[in-house]
């Protein structure tokens, strides 16, 4: 049988993803001072053993104020590079492309973890503190959220440099893919949507004005990365609040492509509250039409994400030409070896040779014992 598209390598500049399965960025709230620790090695190492072609870290803040919670990873200080290097070394040794996401939370910073009890801020007894949050204006994300301080134009320019510096650290740490987080209502998404960005300076107003800061970030990050490394941008194709829609996303994606962005990662929602309260109806593959629109109308490679559950579903998306890469989030928490299971479901690993041989040899023998081979 022909190799499924899911298991066909994808070349992005000098980066070759051995297959199209991508571990989606998922924050774990387990870091101290933004450093990668043993938990992150085990957590992310599993997905490399599971043969995800690309393994993303969670969102890494470009400055401490840009964390969502105090337990997020960071790339704001050179002293953090060595901890990330341990992780990229592990991921690459198992054959995955090491990828990271750089972010600023803006007005959605200093929040409790998604599962904290009302009124609690982080793990009990850990002494997590609130900090000042910033945004395009002083409007909070929703009622009850922290009131941000509006950023000055000079501060915005400074943040462009911070994104570029974080990308430089990501490169030094050995990541081959860097993704700019411009989705889920975090700072760059706050600038894109007219609902959250009511500024009347050069960073606000019409679509071009609202795109200025995110595009400045993309330009600076591209310049900070070596030409052979790949740059992704995650977008909320619709902001979930009625301010930014797919047509805007296509214009933004085309501009990103011009700046040398290799893949647009198509998520949605999150502008006016928690990322989990996205304001977008969810069903299997619900965001695939966004990846398809970006790929076809902006002519840039796209990544689909959101309730993609198994190999046949992923393969159908790729075969339809709706996306170039498939990101798996929660299903990977349930099934860390998702790509290997997908290969079984698609019938392309009959001898279990995709597995690390310490596992695959035994599993193949077990098939004989069970009379399946
Ligand atoms: C535990 C958890 C943490 C997440 N953290 C991030 C993150 O750091 N950055 C991001 O862009 N999306 C984050 N997301 C969103 C996922 O990357 C993904 O887009 C979303 O879960 C939908 O895909 P799924 O249906 O396969 O889970 C997170 C999702 C989960 C479940």
- Please report the DSSP string for 214-257 in residue order: HHHHHHHHHHHS-TTSEEEEEEESS-SSSSS-HHHHHHHHHHHH
As a whole number, mean pLDDT of residues 290-318 equals: 98
113 touches ligand 1 (CB under 6 Å): no
To 5 degrees, how large is the angle CA 76–CA 81–CA 87?
120
The confidence band for 118, taking pLDDT boundaries of 50, 70 and 90, is confident
331 touches ligand 1 (CB under 6 Å): yes
* 275: pLDDT strictly greater than 60: no
CB neighbours of residue 95 within 10 Å: 15
Mean pLDDT taken over the chain: 96
Taking the centre of ligand 1 as the mean of its atom positions, its distance from the CA of residue 276, in whole angstroms, is 9
Least confident of 208-212, 238-242, 319-323: 238-242
Percent of the chain with pLDDT over 90: 94
Q: Is 186 a catalytic residue?
A: yes
Taking the centre of ligand 1 as the mean of its atom positions, its distance from the CA of residue 329, in whole angstroms, is 6
Predicted confidence (pLDDT) per residue in 158-190, tens digit: 999 999 999 999 999 999 999 999 999 999 999
Task: Give, using CA atoms, the residue closest to atom 28 of ligand 1.
Answer: 26
Taking the centre of ligand 1 as the mean of its atom positions, its distance from the CA of residue 322, in whole angstroms, is 20
Percent of the chain with pLDDT over 70: 98
Please tell me the distance from the alpha carbon of residue 171 to that of residue 230, in angstroms, as a whole number. 10
CA neighbours closer than 13 Å in the CB half-sphere of residue 315: 18
Domain housing 151: 5-369
322 touches ligand 1 (CB under 6 Å): no
CA neighbours closer than 13 Å in the CB half-sphere of residue 320: 17
The confidence band for 119, taking pLDDT boundaries of 50, 70 and 90, is confident
Of the residues 175, 186, 334, 359, only one is catalytic, namely 186
- Here the CATH number for the domain that contains residue 313 is 3.20.20.70
199 touches ligand 1 (CB under 6 Å): no
Predicted confidence (pLDDT) per residue in 75-115, tens digit: 999 999 999 999 999 999 999 999 999 999 999 999 999 99
Please tell me the distance from the alpha carbon of residue 175 to that of residue 35, in angstroms, as a whole number. 15
Please tell me the distance from the alpha carbon of residue 355 to that of residue 83, in angstroms, as a whole number. 27
Rg of the Cα trace of the chain?
20
Q: Whose structure tokens read 């972010």?
A: 103
**Collapsing DSSP states into helix, strand and coil, what is residue 264?**
strand
At residue 282, the pLDDT reads 84
* 276: pLDDT strictly greater than 80: no
Which residue blocks in 26-137 are alpha helix, DSSP H?
38-49, 81-93
Closest by alpha carbon to 164, among 201, 112, 219, 114?
219
Please tell me the distance from the alpha carbon of residue 199 to that of residue 84, in angstroms, as a whole number. 37
Catalogue the E-assigned strands of 237-330. Answer: 263-267, 301-305, 325-328
* 277: pLDDT strictly greater than 70: no
67 touches ligand 1 (CB under 6 Å): no
Structure tokens belonging to residue 84: 């990330």
The confidence band for 279, taking pLDDT boundaries of 50, 70 and 90, is low
Burial of residue 33 (number of CB atoms within 10 Å: 0-12, 13-18, 19+): middle
* H helix or E strand, kind and range, residue 54: strand 54-61
Torsion angle, CA of 268/270/271/274, rounded to 10 degrees?
A: 180
Please tell me the distance from the alpha carbon of residue 239 to that of residue 366, in angstroms, as a whole number. 49
Please tell me the distance from the alpha carbon of residue 329 to that of residue 101, in angstroms, as a whole number. 14
At residue 86, the pLDDT reads 98
Q: What domain count does the chain have? A: 1
């Amino acid at each position: 049988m022909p190799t499924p598209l899911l298991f066909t390598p994808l070349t992005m500049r000098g980066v070759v993803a051995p297959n199209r399965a991508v571990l989606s960025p998922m924050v774990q709230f387990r870091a101290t001072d933004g450093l990668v620790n043993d938990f992150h090695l085990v957590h992310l190492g599993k997905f490399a053993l599971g043969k995800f072609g690309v393994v993303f870290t969670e969102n890494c803040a470009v400055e401490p104020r840009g964390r969502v919670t105090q337990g997020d990873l960071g790339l704001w200080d050179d002293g953090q590079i060595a901890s990330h290097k341990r992780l990229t070394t592990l991921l690459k040794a198992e054959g995955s492309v090491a990828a990271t996401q750089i972010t600023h939370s803006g007005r959605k910073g200093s929040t409790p973890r998604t599962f904290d009890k009302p009124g609690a801020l982080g793990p009990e007894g850990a002494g997590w503190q609130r900090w000042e949050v910033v945004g395009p204006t002083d409007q909070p994300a929703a009622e009850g959220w922290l009131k941000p301080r509006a950023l000055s134009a000079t501060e915005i320019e400074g943040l462009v440099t911070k994104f570029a510096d974080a990308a430089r650290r990501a490169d030094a740490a050995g990541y081959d893919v860097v993704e700019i987080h411009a989705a889920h209502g975090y700072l760059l998404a706050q600038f894109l949507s007219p609902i959250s960005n009511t500024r009347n300076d050069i960073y606000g107003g019409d679509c071009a004005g609202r795109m200025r800061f995110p595009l400045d970030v993309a330009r600076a990050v591209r310049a900070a990365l070596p030409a052979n490394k790949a740059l992704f941008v995650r977008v909320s194709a619709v902001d979930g609040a009625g301010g930014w829609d797919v047509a805007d996303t296509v214009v933004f994606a085309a501009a990103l492509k011009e700046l040398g962005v290799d893949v647009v990662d198509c998520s949605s929602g999150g502008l006016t509250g928690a990322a989990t309260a996205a304001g977008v109806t969810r069903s299997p593959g619900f965001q695939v039409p966004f990846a398809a629109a970006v790929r076809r109308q902006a002519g840039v490679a796209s990544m689909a994400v959101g309730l993609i559950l198994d190999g046949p579903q992923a393969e159908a998306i790729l075969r339809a030409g709706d996306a170039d890469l498939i990101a798996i989030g929660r299903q990977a928490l349930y099934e860390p070896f998702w790509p290997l299971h997908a290969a079984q479901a698609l019938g392309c690993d009959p001898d279990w040779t995709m597995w690390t041989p310490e596992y695959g040899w035994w599993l193949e023998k077990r098939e004989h014992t069970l009379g399946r081979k």
